[in-house]
């Protein structure tokens, strides 16, 4: 898929999932679309949402005609996390050394990673996922 097409579909999907009936001037039923069912709900409501999208947003570039339904994916999981025992905070251990970012010893078998870590606080390669802590508001 071409990048421009993927971008347009991704924006269309964002437009749909960010739409609340309050934006469109209606009253939204609360608790009808909790997170686990978001994808399914969004797909079910696609036609209704599409009509509201067109009424509440300017056209999304590059060309509305190329849009297909990015959210209707019957095979997609519903977002409910699977039974999950690993990866909790217990996985975070103290490195046991002052400023472990500089001490690359534990990762010596991966030199390419540490070359990067030596230069940067965290390897950055197209990975802006995961919201950071919000900023504080400091009035000038």
Partner 1 sequence: MTRAVLDLRAAARPLAPALPIEPADRAAAIATWRGRMVNEHGSARVFTALAVQLSDARADDEWIVAARRMAQEERRHGVLCGAVVEALGGAARAPALREEPMPAHADVDRFEAVTRNILSICCLSESVAVALIGAERLQMPEGALRDVLTEIWSDEIGHARFGWRWLAAHRERLRADRLGTYLRVAFAHLEAHELAHLPLGGAGDPALGVCTGADGRALFYGAVEQVIIPRLEGLGLPAADAWMNRGAA
Site for partner 1 in 31-60 (CB under 8 A): 31, 33-36, 38-39, 42, 56-58, 60
**If binding is defined by CB under 8 A, does position 140 make contact with partner 1?**
yes
**Among 51, 72, 78, 105, contact with partner 1 (rule: CB under 8 A):** 78
62 upstream amide cis, omega within 30 of 0: yes
Distance CA 91, CA 123 (A): 20
> Smaller CB distance to partner 1: residue 47 or 93?
93
State the sign of the Cα–Cα–Cα–Cα dihedral 114, 116, 121, 122: negative
- Least CB distance from residue 135 to partner 1, whole Å? 4
> Smaller CB distance to partner 1: residue 44 or 100?
100
**Structural contact between residues 80 and 110, judged by C-beta atoms closer than 8 angstroms:** no
- Least CB distance from residue 107 to partner 1, whole Å? 7
Non-local CB neighbours of 55 within 8 Å, separated by 6+ positions: 24
Residue 124: CB atoms within 10 Å: 9
**Structural contact between residues 23 and 56, judged by C-beta atoms closer than 8 angstroms:** yes
Residues 99-138 that bind partner 1 (CB under 8 A): 99-101, 106-107, 109-110, 112-113, 116-117, 122-138
**If binding is defined by CB under 8 A, does position 79 make contact with partner 1?**
yes
> Smaller CB distance to partner 1: residue 47 or 68?
68
């Amino acid at each position: 898929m071409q990048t421009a097409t993927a971008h347009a579909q991704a924006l269309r999907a964002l437009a749909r999932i960010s739409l609340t009936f309050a934006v469109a001037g209606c009253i939204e039923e609360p608790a009808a679309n909790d997170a686990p069912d978001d994808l399914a709900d969004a797909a079910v409501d696609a036609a209704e949402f599409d009509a509201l999208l067109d009424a509440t947003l300017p056209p999304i570039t590059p060309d509305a005609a190329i849009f297909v339904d990015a959210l209707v994916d019957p095979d997609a999981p519903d977002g409910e996390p699977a039974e999950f025992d690993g990866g909790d905070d217990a996985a975070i251990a103290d490195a046991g050394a002052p400023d472990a970012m500089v001490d690359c010893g534990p990762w010596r078998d991966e030199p390419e990673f540490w070359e990067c870590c030596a230069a940067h606080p965290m390897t950055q390669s197209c990975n802006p996922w995961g919201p950071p802590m919000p900023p504080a508001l400091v009035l000038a």
